[in-house]
Amino acid sequence: MTDLPALAELLETARVVALPMHTRFRGVDVREALLFEGPEGWAEFSPFPEYGDDEAATWLEAAIADAWHPRPAGLRDRIPVNATVPAVPAERVPAVLARFDGCRTAKVKVAEAGQTLADDIARVRAVRAEMGPEGRIRIDANAGWNVDEAERAIHALAPFDLEYAEQPCASVAELAELRERIRYLDILVAADESVRKATDPLEVARAGAADLLVVKAQPLGGIRRALDIVADAGLPAVVSSALDTAVGLSLGAALAAALPTLEFDCGLGTASLFADDVADARPRAGWVSPARVIPDPAALTRLQASADRRDWWIARLTRCHTTLAQR
């Protein structure tokens, strides 16, 4: 990576925080992140703990770019966002949606390990009942189904008027086959993991395996690289979070603000999943701001991670910085 700041510059302002969540989401009860400040402002480095250093280094590349370089000019000053419903029992859906002020779109997690299609149907039914006929519902399976399972599940959930199914299957070939199978349902297929975790993020577009892309600023290496991928793919894009703190969410919102077109509500309202955060980035009337976020000093202190977890993140930052220096 060219123009890589010295590790000491990152460590000088590094703060490791641990954010408690209202509800377990993707197996996470407490979300950890490392924040640091550069010439342009605060940035976030928060790859999930199970990610290897090579993948995590791309997240660091995004954070450094955000802290050391100006963001692209935005084309809009507010971003419409969706509510996010974890794989909770149906009776808990109203309480979850109540935290997302004014959101008229909901993304519902499905295909959770240990749960059944009946659980998914009950959850989506509860979301539809809560949002009414005008609300928009999309589902996210996180690649949890094979093609046959996905076809069966989407057919069962179609009566609830789905906007799209996000990453219903793992591989590009499976997505392409499923897209053909469910075409008659007029339900779109969105690709997430097939973009952000792929060695070739454009393969899914070339294969005709998706109708739209879900892009995330940190995993893709920053705003400019994400913009290039969207432009090269020639598909509509939804910007989503990687369960970021308020700092990382502002990076995602800046990406959404810079897209030439924005046809879908974005998954950038996930601050409402946290019981506490370094700043308030929760949606208001269904919108979030793309402005840079300055963490609250009191929140940085209140949410600081334990000494052993800080050491773990500093060691990870050091390794990923070395990886970037070698690229």
- Name the catalytic one among 99, 107, 196, 216: 216
∠ at Cα 294 (288, 297), nearest 5°? 130
* 192 in a known ligand binding site: yes
- Name the catalytic one among 109, 128, 310, 321: 109
* 140 in a known ligand binding site: yes
Given a contact cutoff of 8 angstroms between Cβ atoms, the answer to whether 88 and 123 are in contact is: yes
Given a contact cutoff of 8 angstroms between Cβ atoms, the answer to whether 299 and 5 are in contact is: no
109 an active-site residue? yes
* C-alpha span between 217 and 85 (Å, rounded): 21
Question: Amino acid identity, residue 259?
Answer: L
Q: Residue 26 gets which letter from DSSP?
A: T
* 228 in a known ligand binding site: no
Given a contact cutoff of 8 angstroms between Cβ atoms, the answer to whether 272 and 283 are in contact is: yes
Residue 111: count other Cβ atoms within 10 Å of its Cβ: 23
* C-alpha span between 94 and 118 (Å, rounded): 18
**HSE value, Cβ hemisphere, 13 Å, CA-based, for 304:** 12
Q: Is 91 exposed, middle or buried (0-12, 13-18, 19+ CB in 10 A)?
A: exposed
107 an active-site residue? no
| Active-site annotation, residues | 109, 216
Task: Pick out the residues of the known binding site for Mg(2+).
Answer: 140, 166, 192
Task: Pick out the residues of the known binding site.
Answer: 140, 166, 192
